[in-house]
Structure 1
Amino acid sequence: MYIPFDELPPHARLWIYQASRPLTEAEQTEIKPLLQRFATEWSSHGKGLQASASLLHDRFLVLANNEAETSASGCSIDASVRFVRELEEQLGISFFDRSQLAFLNKGEVETVAMGELKNKVATGDINENTLYFDTLVNNYGELQQAWPKPAGSSWLSRYF
């Protein structure tokens, strides 16, 4: 069962996929109905999930499920991964490259390769107050309250 993204309860579980490049308006227009259809049809052991999906900041695909209603099973999570992989093929984009970190810089999403992070910290381009899009956020409440969040408040704190 589809639920509008902004009506998700704070405890709703999230899966965040970061695109390897910004999505164009045309791509977003193409993807949005596919996201809604997937969320509508997404199920666990034959029972529909109370699910939603959204594109945020032209870069992040977010799938969500209200776990208080029905928990996502391993099979349903596998189905969501297959869906995202199909989008990758359709768009010629990657949603599974974890080697790029995303930061908010002057209102724009900027990506930094993991291998460049220490250098960016050393030069001051990234500091503990730089806003970071932590794809490890796992519930809607946290997304609403602290996303992006200061890098020093994330797993990146060890670099400062």
Structure 2
Amino acid sequence: MEISENSRVWIYQANRPFSNSETAQIEQTLNAFTDGWHAHEHKLAAKAEVRYNRFIILMVDESVAGASGCSIDKSSQVIRELEQKYNVSLFDRFNMAYKKGEEVISCSRQEFEELLQRGEITPETTVFNNTVQTKEDLETRWEVPFKYSWHSVVFQALVS
């Protein structure tokens, strides 16, 4: 399904990588969910995917039908069920992710601060901006160097 660049996006970051088989199972669950996802009797033009075996991404093309509070609650319920089934945290906003080479690593906020202080995370390190809200932003502003991310503002005092 093709959805517009203005589609609304939600990103859930796991605190550990999923195995390939877990990713396949999760995508199957998400596809079943998005195929039947409705808001006020209207089918949502929705898509879901897992990237890097770590990020669950839901998208809704609100030019077709807008997501409602109840429909968003239903998606949150599915994500919570995935948390329980796979024994993983998906709602922890203090779980930070960055790239080391091609590997995606996650850590606590405290660990992230320590890595910054030791210079292991630099202004050029790719970090993930899970606050993006549209598909276009997902493609252009999700994976960015630390120096261009919100992280650089929050952790400004720690950057050498």
- Fold shared, TM-score > 0.5 on shorter chain: yes
Q: How far apart in 2 are the matches of 1:83 and 1:11?
A: 23
Identity rate, percent:
34
Within-5 A mapping of 1:103-122: 103-122=98-117
CA positional deviation for 1:44: 0.7
Question: What do the CA deviations read for 1:90-118 (whole angstroms, capped 9, x no partner)?
Answer: 11111112221000111000113101233
Q: How far apart in 2 are the matches of 1:49 and 1:75?
A: 13
1:80 aligns with 2:80: no
Contact 1:52 1:64 (C-alpha < 8 Å) held by counterparts? yes
Normalized against structure 1, the TM-score is what? 0.91
Q: Please, which runs of 5 or more residues in structure 2 have no aligned partner? A: none
Correspondence for 2:146 among 127, 147, 151:
151
Q: How far apart in 1 are the matches of 2:20 and 2:73?
A: 28
Q: Please, which runs of 5 or more residues in structure 1 have no aligned partner? A: none
Q: How far apart in 2 are the matches of 1:69 and 1:31?
A: 25
Amino acid at match of 1:30: Q
1:68 aligns with 2:85: no
Cα distance change of structure 1 residues 121 and 12 upon mapping to structure 2, 3 Å threshold: same
1:57 aligns with 2:84: no
Q: How far apart in 2 are the matches of 1:109 and 1:58?
A: 9
Q: CA RMSD in A?
A: 1.2
Correspondence for 1:13 among 8, 21, 24:
8
Normalized against structure 2, the TM-score is what? 0.91
